[in-house]
Structure 1
């Protein structure tokens, strides 16, 4: 059956001229072309042949212009279809869809014929679409399977590569050019190696049947081999048998060796300041048949214009000179050399960054001996900016956050200890904590807990070969004086929290007292403990005044009813929360026009902010200059607040967690504000709203979810 020529029809062209009344008036003489399609299946199976439809293009012979095109001949035209054409000479091209890439079970057929369309004449022409690919199939013998635990073949050329693994039975199709065949083997003892062969001068319609066998059962499982090729010229079937002489010691056992130092991956800084060396020592007992380099990166292939593959035993002086200029030292290599050394050290100081970001480069050394046994060794080189490890420490009283930037993500670790201790402790750090930046650096942050307040510690951060040491002092845990509201004094008819000599809390009392009212007063009856602060909103003279209390100072009245206040007092600790007790009785808003809130229930507001101000914040009610509490205000390091319009029959405890907007800056000021009317700054609220507060306290615990 193999030598029997099979057809699925014949491409026939019947050229007939049928004159009509309409055509008598047409100056262009025309004829008719009848088309049917077929394929020649000499080197394929029937199932493969039926996969792709045939397209037909009719082109002018003189210009090559396509005048008719049928993407699917059977569907679009059919065997009885006719094509009307002006008389003239045409090329009729027929073929299956062509992607140009190597593929399994995707043969490509093509045929062309030249036909002359003439008046009043019928001609018959035949175009046979023949296989335009090279066909490859692979078969492994049972004996080979017995002596090898792993085996697969890679076949490729300019059209691509296909891998025929142990179970692959499909045919592969390639463009007609030299085929490279690589047999990958794993012996029963676990030794892995390759045998590489070339099939030159392959042609379309040739079917290469690659058979891999060891011929006879051997005494030893070592292997290598060579192809025995037999050509059946009548059918273009080519039997290629690789008989692996596993009983010969040199095959499989004495393969070439490549020792690259250092091996695997190499991470260096720009200009290689550490003067890292890179070299490959190659040895081959059976002599070298091939020694080659694969250089893959934008720098190698685009900037320097080097080919991705360089045969070092056949390269010309120009390529040798270019490699030398890049710092790659290549010795003169003789055929069958048994050892040599390649030195890439000079290259490492020349590999550049790209736009200041890291670059990656791949160097593969390929060695093949005279028996066709091939080994490869690849080193990946990553070049990063000359960025030393840079660290930042955010300090609380019993824990710290340590953030670092490094030029690598290799061998990263963080250690710490009390300065008077000898042994280091490792901080918890997982791979997910390490993030790559847009600049190609790596940042990571670690939290070190269970520290002792007011204590000196040392730390060191290691990233690959870079190391940075430093120290930090854990913080204190200071309270705001008089925040239990038990101490009060009176001055000029106004009451104040604390003592006159240590004035840290203030309110609107100083401005109100001049008009005969004080909105914030000491509460001695309805308290949690000792005394409390009573903040009662009221209206006096011409302005609404909210009951309020804040850390800072009332500066002055101006323009009769406007006030200047200094918000905040110096403070350098980092608490995590403010807790205390409050009791609120809201009224209905009856004063002010801010946000058209009249008739709605008033609400109270308690908030705390840690800031890095250089001086207190000057509030001016006349110009409505108030502290911007939004996240856009970068001077606020941490913030927390409580707002409610709930009427309360008794005191309730509250906790306001501080959400740190920046872990690493230290505060210089603390601002705590309580107001019976949230919009009192805008002179809007209820004259019957009363807020009682007592026993404020700063906390220094460790709320995991509030420090971001």
Structure 2
């Protein structure tokens, strides 16, 4: 068959497929006694696609806990469909699986294809916004039906926090949790009933901002789940927050210790410490599996005094706030951006680096365009970065310092000018010349 005849043959199939694709499918599958006159011939085949959506397992409620509402009823007919050719280009698309089914099947020229089905939008961070997707490859052969079954599963990270009775009895009710993936962030409070969904970026971490009921001390707990292989492999995540029991024995049992208790800077039970900071216990349940993982928390005291160190070594780095608290977001607006945000940094073993990592879907592209970048080391800047920061009226600290005042107040008007409501996260990480580190995260909320 020459080239002209091949093109004519394909045109013929396009013209008749809408009317006869169901009958052609039956002919090929041998489901009718008398084949129709439009039986498939030549260099074309039929794609018979079946979708099998798998809704994530439900998370059981617990007293006082946060359980995400089941806001999505998965209907297979709502999935959008794309057929991609061997070059990765969209050959044909359908607004819904229902539209594809109405054709009874899809005639395709012989070749290799990829099928992609999606439901929802893959947002950086949003409440009650699951994103389901599924894909696989198929090969279309002449005059045959290619049966393709595509599993569609939750593809962004769903994370729900539950707090135990011990947690809620240890902290005031105004605690908040900020969860982020490096591109976006969400803030949850005690009465939050929605599930948080975040784009799967490879980063998943959260910070707890709370005030103890006893003594009213502000506390921050930073937990990073990014390095856990199980969290990387699964998307439906439940985080139970509790309090680790006190070490048994006390003065009567000086050698007694709980082997299951994670190491934590807040667990220093020295006589001169009037109030013992609660030690967070974090249980991460992957709902797709039947196991629970307990990880130690990275405790940071942000109450305005130098945080305690687990070793008792007062020469370790310390980061404290001046005029604000790390435990609560700094609120600004277009009409009120004149906010003082000063951070005191103590590095008795001399400052080696001061890294700033900014998380904001709005601010990050602008910083990249300026040439500054969303992450930079104030002690190891390029000439271009130093020039930009100087123009923003930010003082550049010197290496080798012991006490450093890091004033980032100049960033507040810049955020206000964007006039984009949401959270802007500034993670401050310092390292001294001995290799010791400390970090704090400042949350700025644009109203």
Q: TM-score range by the shorter chain?
A: 0.5 to 0.7
CA apart distance, 1:146: 0.8
- Aligned-partner SS, 1:76: helix
Bigger CA drift: 195-204 or 136-145? Answer: 195-204
SS of 1:146's equivalent in the other structure is helix
When normalised by structure 2's length, the TM-score is: 0.57
Can you list the C-alpha shifts for 1:410-440, whole angstroms capped at 9, x where unaligned?
xxxxxxxxxxxxxxxxxxxxxxxxxxxxxxx
**Counterpart of 1:97?**
120
> Distance in 1 between the 2:28 and 2:109 partners?
10
Greater share of residues in helix: 2
Determine the C-alpha separation between the residues in 2 that align with 1:364 and 1:103: 16
- Residue 107 of structure 2 corresponds to residue 84 of structure 1: yes
Deviations 1:161-193 (A, max 9, x none): 122211234332212221231111112233334
Matches within 5 A, 1:291-370: 292=356, 301=367, 304-307=370-373, 310-312=376-378, 315=381, 319-320=385-386, 322-324=388-390, 328-333=394-399, 339-342=403-406, 367=428
- Matches for 1:515-664 after TM superposition, within 5 Å: none
Instruction: Supply the distance in 2 between the matched residues of 1:164 and 1:279 (Cα, whole angstroms).
Output: 23
Q: 2: distance between equivalents of 1:364 and 1:245?
A: 18
| Contact 1:329 1:343 (8 Å CA) reproduced | yes
Give the structure 2 partner of residue 58 of structure 1. 83
C-alpha displacement of 1:153: 0.7
Are the structure 2 counterparts of residues 124 and 264 from structure 1 closer, same or farther at C-alpha, using a change threshold of 3 Å? closer
Flag the 1:57–1:42 CA change in 2: closer, same or farther, 3 A: same
- Determine the C-alpha separation between the residues in 2 that align with 1:162 and 1:344: 23
CA deviations over 1:575-597 (Å, ceiling 9, x no partner): xxxxxxxxxxxxxxxxxxxxxxx
3-state SS of 1:258 partner:
strand
Q: Please list every run of 5 or more consecutive structure 2 residues that lacks an aligned counterpart in the other structure.
A: 1-24, 30-34, 60-68, 248-268, 308-318, 325-329, 333-339, 431-435
* Inter-partner Cα distance in structure 1 for 2:180 and 2:346: 26
Q: Deviations over 1:537-561 (max 9, x none)?
A: xxxxxxxxxxxxxxxxxxxxxxxxx
Could you report, residue by residue, the CA deviation over 1:65-108 in whole angstroms, capped at 9, with x for unpaired residues?
322x33232x4344993333344332221121224232233222
TM-superposed deviation, 1:216: 2.0
**Where in structure 2 are the equivalents of 1:224-623 lying within 5 Å?**
235=289, 239=293, 254-255=306-307, 256-259=319-322, 280=342, 282-284=344-346, 292=356, 301=367, 304-307=370-373, 310-312=376-378, 315=381, 319-320=385-386, 322-324=388-390, 328-333=394-399, 339-342=403-406, 367=428, 374=440, 376=442
In the alignment, the residues of structure 1 paired with residue 348 and residue 58 of structure 2 have an alpha-carbon distance, to the nearest angstrom, of: 40
How does the TM-score come out when normalised to structure 1?
A: 0.38
CA contact (8 A) 2:238 2:287 kept: no
- Residue 144 of structure 1 deviates from its aligned partner by 1.4
Q: Secondary structure at the match of 1:37?
A: strand
2:49 maps to: 35
Offset at residue 279 of structure 1 (A): 9.5
Which residue number corresponds to residue 270 of structure 1? Answer: none
Partner of residue 196, structure 1: 222
Report SS of the residue matched to 1:128: strand
Partner residue, 1:518:
none
Partner of 1:155: 179
Tell me which residue corresponds to 1:175.
199
Instruction: Indicate the residue corresponding to 2:135 in structure 1.
Output: 112
The structure number with the bigger radius of gyration is 1
Q: Does 1:214 align with 2:243?
A: yes
Q: What SS does structure 2 have at the residue aligned with 1:143?
A: helix
**Once the 2 structures are TM-superposed, how far is the Cα of residue 20 of structure 1 from its aligned partner?**
4.2
For 1:360 and 1:77, the matched residues in 2 are separated by 43
> Which secondary structure does the structure 2 equivalent of 1:223 belong to?
coil
Instruction: Describe the shift of the 1:365–1:245 C-alpha distance in structure 2 as closer, same or farther (beyond 3 A).
Output: closer
Please report the RMSD computed on the Cα atoms of aligned residues, expressed in angstroms.
5.3
Answer yes or no: is the 8 Å Cα contact 1:15–1:117 preserved in 2: no
Mark the CA change 1:66 to 1:320 in structure 2 (over 3 Å): closer, same or farther.
same
Runs of 5+ consecutive residues of structure 1 not aligned to the other structure: 1-13, 266-277, 353-357, 381-708
Query: Structure 1 residues 257, 375: closer, same or farther in 2, change over 3 A?
Result: farther
* CA contact 1:89–1:116 (8 Å) conserved in 2: yes
Tell me, yes or no, if the aligned pair for 1:15 and 1:31 is still in contact at 8 Å.
no
Confirm or deny that 1:21 pairs with 2:87.
no
Which structure has more relative contact order (CA 8 Å, sep 6+)? It is: 2
Structure with greater proportional strand content: 1
**Offset at residue 226 of structure 1 (A):** 6.8
Of stretches 177-186 and 41-50 in structure 1, the one that deviates more from structure 2 is 41-50
For 2:394, what is the secondary structure of its paired residue? coil
- Displacement of 1:139: 1.3
Displacement of 1:138 in angstroms is 0.8
